[in-house]
Amino acid sequence: MHDGNENKVAERRGFLKTLGLAGGAAAAAAAPAAAQAQAPRPRKETEVEKVAARYRETDHVKAFYRTNRY
């Protein structure tokens, strides 16, 4: 059902393209905290970005609501 979303997700997830996070394996061995220590810190969000709305009623979200109904 949300197979179709995959590309979109990947796009959104494309934020990381510049980040060069090493392959999954390296990330795996490290606990999140350690990963943080190794990764270069990108700039943080601005005050406006921080509070911006992100919720959208996607197909995924609609599916969730539907499965909560009878």
Summarize as ranges the residues that interact with another protein (CB under 8 A): 1-3, 5-6, 8-10, 12-17, 19, 21, 23-25, 27-29, 31-33, 35-36, 39, 41-45, 49-58, 60-61, 63-70
Question: Which among 26, 23, 48 has a CA at the least distance from the CA of 37?
Answer: 26
CB of 4 to another protein, least distance (A): 11
Minimum CB–partner distance for residue 6 and another protein (Å) = 6
The nearest distance, CB 11 to another protein, in angstroms, is 9
